[in-house]
Amino acid sequence: MKLSIIIPAYNEEISLEKSIPLILKAFPRAELIVVNDGSFDRTKDILSQFNIKIINNEKNLGKGLSLKRGILAAEGELVIFTDADLPFRIEGIKKVAEALEETGANIAIAEKLEYRKNASYLLARAIVKFFIRVFLSIHFKDTQAGLKGFTKNTAKEIFQITKINRFASDIEILFLAKQKNFKVISLPLQVASDNLRPSSFNLKEGFLFLLDIIRIKIAKYDEKNY
């Protein structure tokens, strides 16, 4: 199996009903894994309509832990995770897969060329970006875009030891990649115009994010954590 696509999903019934058929049509031989993170809408019913691999969390465990469960179950030689609403469309997934094959990189991450720019979001984004650079020496322009790809061995090596369950899991991935000297490339991609959803990231989320950054900094990653 060449490609595994992982989708962490929490109350994403509308997005999944649209995105799953698109993925299955574009990648008919790929392994599609959706991790239902304790959704209480119709997500579970939507997923049951498709012949895909489904992992159900009994309760909401967070994006990071959902990604861990999905990626450790993946069998493809390339492993890509995307948000349920396909923020970079099918073309974004294809570009990440092509970049991994053509460049020999361990990891390829999307970089948003367009995003919501309300004042609260921009302030929280700026604060978090500053702390990421100061505490973790990570200098990518966009660490949080919902599309990242890995070679199989890279994905397994990283996600066997991840500890962060919330949205800072993206930062943890890049931190561990840096620690292990993995080659990471960033792909500037246009966000689909109909997928510019209002961000829930605000000052409160930013504070919790900073706490997780500190956890990443002081964590000991010398043992498997699953």
Tokens, residue 185: 């490339």
Tokens, residue 159: 């996600």
pLDDT recorded at residue 40: 96
Q: What confidence tens digit (pLDDT) does each residue in 126-137 have?
A: 777 888 888 899
Interatomic CA distance for residues 155 and 72, integer angstroms? 8
Interatomic CA distance for residues 156 and 158, integer angstroms? 6
Q: What confidence tens digit (pLDDT) does each residue in 57-108 have?
A: 999 999 999 999 999 999 999 999 999 999 999 999 999 999 999 999 999 9
Sorting pLDDT into bands at 50, 70 and 90, what band is 123? confident
pLDDT recorded at residue 131: 83
Which amino acid, 204?
Answer: K
Q: What percent of the chain has pLDDT over 90?
A: 75
E-strand spans in the chain?
A: 3-9, 31-37, 53-57, 78-82, 107-112, 147-151, 184-189
Residues 6+ apart with CB under 8 A from 21: none
Q: Give the CATH number of domain 3-218.
A: 3.90.550.10
Sorting pLDDT into bands at 50, 70 and 90, what band is 116? low
Give the residue-averaged pLDDT of 24-29.
97
Burial of 144 (0-12, 13-18, 19+ CB in 10 A): buried
Sheet holding 184-189, edge to edge: 53-57, 31-37, 3-9, 78-82, 147-151, 107-112, 184-189
Sorting pLDDT into bands at 50, 70 and 90, what band is 26? very high
Sorting pLDDT into bands at 50, 70 and 90, what band is 113? confident
Tokens 């060329």 belong to residue = 113
Sorting pLDDT into bands at 50, 70 and 90, what band is 207? confident
**Summary mean pLDDT of the chain:** 90
Residue scoring higher pLDDT (66 or 206): 66
pTM: 0.91
Interatomic CA distance for residues 52 and 63, integer angstroms? 20
What number of H helices and E strands is found in the chain? 8, 7
Nearest CA-CA partner of 217 in 185, 176, 161: 176
Q: How many CB atoms lie within 10 A of CB 101?
A: 15
Give the residue-averaged pLDDT of 41-58.
97
pLDDT recorded at residue 208: 82
Helix (H, G, I), strand (E, B) or coil at 147: strand
pLDDT recorded at residue 226: 53
Interatomic CA distance for residues 198 and 97, integer angstroms? 28
Give the residue-averaged pLDDT of 189-218.
76
Sorting pLDDT into bands at 50, 70 and 90, what band is 210? confident
What DSSP string runs through 58-77? SS---HHHHHHHHHHH--SS
Tokens 């790809």 belong to residue = 149
Q: What confidence tens digit (pLDDT) does each residue in 191-201 have?
A: 986 555 555 55
